[in-house]
Chains A and B, each alone.
Chain A
């Protein structure tokens, strides 16, 4: 059964107000708390280890899969999920993890998500992290995402974490084949004593593969962020990384670029910038009647949108 806290967590990580339409699998405190397959989307429990297989039939269009994970007690949760996105399909997958940790022990969720995006398939994958709870227990999330995109496939990846998570190490590995397209947008806000690390490696194997990574982050208080974004081009391909961070108070941000070309027709660009909120922006909004705090919030919200 889902209680009020569960429902709030679900809403935060998956924008769900009720049980979702279409296929879903809700995991609560390491246990299955609800599942539904559909005619085109099959969700089955893995036999050999914790986790699920999500199998989407070729040609499935306009359907969605919600697979939220919620933790409302101290727990060490580890899960392996595999997704088979059938050729020519077009689907939305909403994952995400919400932690409510009321106690003093840590709550940790480590998820390994592996995707096979078959020929010509289109997938949008949204992963949102959310943490709350007044206890001193740490909230820890370490997702690992591996995506294989076959010929003509398109993947859009949205990764969002706004406050609430004490420790996160996010590893993302993507392999792009011929004419595959990738767009990654990452949004991160850390505060207090939080630590976040994001490693994204994209390997462009196929001719005319393209990758665009847009990472925006805000680091407040004593928090620390490390970005290691890497593009590796093995064919005639194009890749672009834009990494933009706003730094405040005593925070610390490292942005470590890496672009490697193994082919003379690989075009790879990396742009990274770290800076505080431009004071003219604050002043401009204050001249419209906003207080300094309101101006700051407006700027940060826009930046992380």
Chain B
């Protein structure tokens, strides 16, 4: 179980700016949490705080009852915490194969399976450098694969669906659906996507640097239904039948 107790985070530019305020969360093993809310609400900041990229000015983080607040990124990674970036970096000179090996999957067959799981043809990608030639969507998929490569206690995916085409999206949701079962993973997915929300055991709403609500998938979906009452293409859109269906949500 991962617990955030009274966590506050500030960033210092010219002066100290609070970005997270009194965050309390208790996330169980083998469950899927979907974190959602307005842009700039603080979702990525919560993820970075879990990973140790941001250090809280106040509060504690506990993993299975052990205080990890003072631990750095590397130590947390070794304790089985993983974070798939919202905007993953590119690496001049580093090949997909090498990055996956660094993530812990050195076996070529297993690497190919991983790429398949994120909808990439292994042959075309395994020896490619993760440089500027990668498209946004390709980069996101590689990023997701670096997390799937590890048997994690806590896996946080930051808008994994961003830039992923509709066809692959189906595959991705299937992957998430079963991911947590194998290693008892606490799965946190930051997303604005209805189809990802449907996977949630619990939905965490974040806005203005606070957790504004923790609710059930049913509640959230009912709310969306209300908003979308007038949108006729909605059903097809969810089923993925109309590739061109675009909601303005």
Query: Could you tell me which A residues sit within 8 Å of B by CB distance?
Result: 244, 278, 280-281, 283-292, 298-299, 301-305
| B36-75 contact mask (Cβ, 8 Å, vs A): 1 or 0 | 0000000000000001010000000000000000001110
- The interface-forming segment of B83-91, B200-208, B224-232 is B83-91
Shortest B80–chain A CB gap in Å is 10
Cβ B92 vs Cβ A287 within 8 A: no
Cβ B74 vs Cβ A281 within 8 A: no
Residue in A284, A288, A291, A303 whose beta carbon sits within 8 Å of that of B92 in the complex: A303
Known: A290-B102, A304-B93. A284 touches B88 (CB 8 A): yes
Bound CA span A301–B88, Å: 20
Bound CA span A284–B89, Å: 8
Bound CA span A76–B230, Å: 86
Cβ B82 vs Cβ A285 within 8 A: no
Within 8 A of A (CB), among B141-160: 146, 150
Whether B94 is near chain A, meaning CB under 8 Å from some CB there, is yes
Closest 10 pairs (CB-CB, A-B)? A302-B93, A280-B89, A302-B94, A289-B77, A286-B73, A281-B89, A303-B93, A305-B93, A288-B103, A286-B74
**Count of interface residues, chain B, beta-carbon cutoff 8 Å:** 23
Bound CA span A298–B95, Å: 11
Residue in A286, A303, A305 whose beta carbon sits within 8 Å of that of B77 in the complex: A286
Query: Which A residues touch B53, using CB under 8 A?
Result: 283, 287
Cβ A287 vs Cβ B98 within 8 A: no
Shortest B187–chain A CB gap in Å is 16
Bound CA span A287–B54, Å: 12
Query: Which B residues touch A291, using CB under 8 A?
Result: 74
Cβ-closest chain A residue relative to B82: A287
Residue among B53, B73, B77, B146 with max Cβ neighbours from chain A (10 Å): B73
| B79-119 contact mask (Cβ, 8 Å, vs A): 1 or 0 | 00011010111011110001000111000000000000000
Cβ A283 vs Cβ B73 within 8 A: yes
A contact patch SS: helix
Whether B78 is near chain A, meaning CB under 8 Å from some CB there, is yes
Query: Which A residues touch B85, using CB under 8 A?
Result: 280, 284
Cβ A298 vs Cβ B77 within 8 A: no
Shortest A303–chain B CB gap in Å is 5
Shortest A277–chain B CB gap in Å is 10
Query: Which A residues touch B73, using CB under 8 A?
Result: 283, 286-287
Q: List 23 A-B contacts (CB under 8 A).
A: A244-B92, A280-B85, A280-B87, A281-B89, A283-B73, A285-B102, A286-B73, A286-B74, A287-B82, A287-B83, A288-B77, A288-B103, A288-B104, A288-B150, A289-B77, A289-B78, A289-B104, A290-B74, A290-B77, A298-B102, A302-B92, A302-B94, A303-B93
Cβ-closest chain B residue relative to A286: B73
Shortest B98–chain A CB gap in Å is 7
Query: Could you tell me which B residues sit within 8 Å of A by CB distance?
Result: 51, 53, 72-74, 77-78, 82-83, 85, 87-89, 91-94, 98, 102-104, 146, 150
Query: Which B residues touch A304, using CB under 8 A?
Result: 93
Cβ-closest chain B residue relative to A289: B77
Cβ B91 vs Cβ A302 within 8 A: yes
Query: Which A residues touch B93, using CB under 8 A?
Result: 301-305
Bound CA span A232–B77, Å: 51
Bound CA span A304–B92, Å: 9
Cβ-closest chain A residue relative to B84: A287
Cβ-closest chain B residue relative to A294: B74
Cβ A289 vs Cβ B92 within 8 A: no
Cβ-closest chain A residue relative to B146: A288
Cβ A299 vs Cβ B91 within 8 A: yes
Bound CA span A255–B146, Å: 36
Cβ-closest chain A residue relative to B51: A287
Shortest B188–chain A CB gap in Å is 14
Bound CA span A303–B98, Å: 13
Cβ A287 vs Cβ B102 within 8 A: no
Query: Which B residues touch A287, using CB under 8 A?
Result: 51, 53, 73, 77, 82-83
Shortest B100–chain A CB gap in Å is 10
Bound CA span A287–B83, Å: 7
Cβ A292 vs Cβ B89 within 8 A: no
Query: Which A residues touch B94, using CB under 8 A?
Result: 298-299, 302
Query: Which B residues touch A290, using CB under 8 A?
Result: 74, 77, 102
Query: Which A residues touch B102, using CB under 8 A?
Result: 285, 288, 290, 298
Cβ A281 vs Cβ B146 within 8 A: no
Bound CA span A289–B88, Å: 16
15 more CB-based (< 8 A) A-B contacts, given A287-B77, A291-B74: A244-B92, A280-B87, A283-B53, A284-B85, A284-B88, A286-B72, A286-B74, A288-B77, A288-B146, A290-B102, A298-B102, A299-B91, A299-B94, A302-B93, A302-B94
